[in-house]
Every structure is written in C-alpha cells, then in structure tokens.
Amino acid sequence: MSLFSVLTKKKNAGADGPEEDEMGFFDHLEVLRWHIIRSVLAILVLAIVFFTMKSFTFDTIVFGPKKPGFITYKLICDISPAICFSPPELNLITREMGEQFFIHMKVAFWLGLISSFPYIFWEFWRFIKPGLYKTEQKAVRGIVLYCSFLFFTGVAFGYYIIAPFAITWLGSYTVGTEAENSPTLASYVNYMTMFTLPTAILFELPIVAYFLGKVGLITSSFMRQYRRHAIVIIFIFAGILTPPDVITQMLIGTPMILLYEISIRVVKNIEKKNKAIVPVND
C-alpha cells in the first residue's frame, strides 16, 4: 500500500476507519509543508540557543570527550587502574579566516537537530496518523517515545563510549617521532558528528524491524537464518559510517549485533500476536 493511498482513505469507510475525511494530493502537500516548517523552526530555535551558549556548547559538550576529566575516563579508572586511560593532549587549530564562526554555526545546527528529534518525529507522526486505522494506530502506540529513546541512547553511546576510545586511539597514534598530531577543529567536529549521529540512526534497528515484520517483509526465522550475513553487513556499515579503524568499528558493531538479536525477538512477538488473532477453521 502506497503512502498516498494510506493518506487518502475515507473516514466513513467503517468504524475502524481513519480519523479524517478524504483529502486531495495537494491538500496533503500543504499539510506536510506546515509540518516541515514547524520542524525546521524547532531546529532553528534550539540551534540559536546552542549558538548563544558558546562556552557550554564547546567547552562542555563538544570538547568534553577530549578532556582527562571526562566522566568515561573517570569511571573506567575507578573500575581498575589496569584499564585506566586518558586522552592525549590535542591542540586543535583552524587554518582559515572565519572558520571558527562557521564551525560554530555548524555545531549549533547539529545540536539543534539532535535535540529536536522527538518533536520532528512527532510532527511526522501527526502527518501519518490520520491515515491509519484505529487498529494500526494501536499497534504503534508509543512509537514517538520508543524512537526517541533509541535515538538518544545511540547518541549517548556514541558520545560516552565511542568518542573517548576513538579520540584516545586516533589522537595518540603516530607513525614516528618526526610527526605529531595537530588536528584541525573541523576534523575534530566531523569525527564527533560521525561518532554520534550515525550511531543514533543505527540504534533505530528494532523499530525498522518492527515495521518490516508487521507488513510481512521479514520473519524471525529469516533473520536467524541470515544472522551471519547480517553481522557482516553491520560491520561494513560501521566501517562506512565511522572512521576507518578497527576499534571504532568494533565499538559500533558489537551493540548493533545485540540490537539485531533484540529485533529478532520483536519480530517473533509480532508473529505470535498474528497467530493468536488468526481464526481457526473447523
């Protein structure tokens, strides 16, 4: 069933029908336009907030994982001195006039986008919801909460786990005494973006599996049968979306395998519910 056909179902088609009367294609475009406008405004408002809070945005958030006092380093050192480590001293530089200003704007935008994700998804859900039947709405109840939880869990994992390990390893790796690491601010910000946003998106795997299982495109037996293939694909994606080093790929790939196993359970539960409502023929 296409998105347009879902959105143009009639309210009086039955007691289980959609919530609104039939609308034309351009009517839906107008509704969608306002959802997009409100989402963009939410991003801009939060981006402006982060832009004005320059010290908090950079000294606390962006530069946090490169500081020895970052919470991840403290917790690991408290667990055991044998595994204690701290990041190397990285003196970030810029090479062009105005570069710091434009990076400031870029960082504010990304933080605004990340912070406004629940609202953006809620706007998307408000656009889709009227075209769904009551049973369909019930099946995805709490979808905004679940998606937001997984998204921010992915961001936190990338920020508190991947970033400290990757910064320590990449920042201290050298090919010899004749070369020292002097990364640019732009390079550091790009890496921090790669550590968090792709991870947040990948953490939505159980949600994607839920919808694919709901429409019958995948089954739990299919996912178990091709588990090894999925693991290979996971690490390939980890290599594409993150810096090309084994440690970062392992840090992303390992929780993704766990999420894949959770996705199998999610699809299995869908199959059990579907079997429970199928009428038994005499």
Question: Could you tell me if 77 and 168 lie in one domain?
Answer: yes
Phi, psi angle pair for 93, to nearest 5°? -130, 160
pLDDT confidence bin for 16, thresholds 50/70/90: low
The set of residues, in sequence order, having a beta carbon less than 8 Å from that of 22 and lying 6+ positions away, is 8, 9, 10, 11
Model pTM score: 0.82
Pairwise CA distance, residues 210 & 266, whole Å = 6
Q: What is the DSSP string of 17-50?
A: --SS----HHHHHHHHHHHHHHHHHHHHHHHHHH
Q: Which pLDDT score is estimated for 55?
A: 95
- Domain encompassing residue 96: 3-178
Q: Which of 162, 178, 194 is the last residue of a domain?
A: 178
Asked whether residue 8 carries a pLDDT value surpassing 60, the answer given is no
Determine the residue type at 271. Answer: E
192 domain-assigned: no
Q: How many domains does the chain have?
A: 2
Question: Could you tell me if 173 and 208 lie in one domain?
Answer: no
Closest to 261 in 3D by CA, of 209, 200, 198: 209
Question: Could you tell me if 12 and 63 lie in one domain?
Answer: yes
Question: Could you tell me if 9 and 63 lie in one domain?
Answer: yes
| H or E stretch at 279 | none
**Are 263 and 205 within 8 A, CB to CB?**
yes
24 domain-assigned: yes
71 domain-assigned: yes
Query: What would the pLDDT profile of 204-248 be if each residue is shown by its tens digit?
Result: 999 999 888 888 888 889 999 989 999 888 888 777 766 666 777
Q: Which pLDDT score is estimated for 28?
A: 74
Question: Could you tell me if 92 and 25 lie in one domain?
Answer: yes
**Are 113 and 43 within 8 A, CB to CB?**
yes
Q: Which pLDDT score is estimated for 4?
A: 46
pLDDT confidence bin for 282, thresholds 50/70/90: very low
Question: Could you tell me if 116 and 11 lie in one domain?
Answer: yes
Question: Could you tell me if 11 and 74 lie in one domain?
Answer: yes
Mean of pLDDT values over 5-32: 59
Mean pLDDT taken over the chain: 84
194 domain-assigned: no
Q: Is 184 helix (H, G, I), strand (E, B) or coil?
A: strand
Pairwise CA distance, residues 282 & 279, whole Å = 10
Query: What would the pLDDT profile of 101-117 be if each residue is shown by its tens digit?
Result: 999 999 999 999 999 99
Asked whether residue 80 carries a pLDDT value surpassing 50, the answer given is yes
190 domain-assigned: no
Question: Could you tell me if 218 and 253 lie in one domain?
Answer: yes
**Are 87 and 168 within 8 A, CB to CB?**
yes
Mean of pLDDT values over 56-84: 92
Q: Which of 160, 178, 196 is the last residue of a domain?
A: 178
Tokens of 73: 């380093």
106 domain-assigned: yes
270 domain-assigned: yes
Closest to 246 in 3D by CA, of 235, 260, 230: 235
Question: Could you tell me if 85 and 213 lie in one domain?
Answer: no
Neighbouring C-beta atoms of residue 197, cutoff 10 Å: 18
Question: Could you tell me if 90 and 13 lie in one domain?
Answer: yes
**Are 199 and 157 within 8 A, CB to CB?**
yes
Residue corresponding to tokens 């992915």: 154
Task: Say if residue 278 is exposed, middle or buried (CB neighbours under 10 Å; 0-12, 13-18, 19+).
Answer: exposed
**Are 257 and 200 within 8 A, CB to CB?**
no
Question: Could you tell me if 37 and 129 lie in one domain?
Answer: yes
Pairwise CA distance, residues 95 & 74, whole Å = 33
Q: Which pLDDT score is estimated for 44?
A: 97
36 domain-assigned: yes
Question: Could you tell me if 174 and 211 lie in one domain?
Answer: no
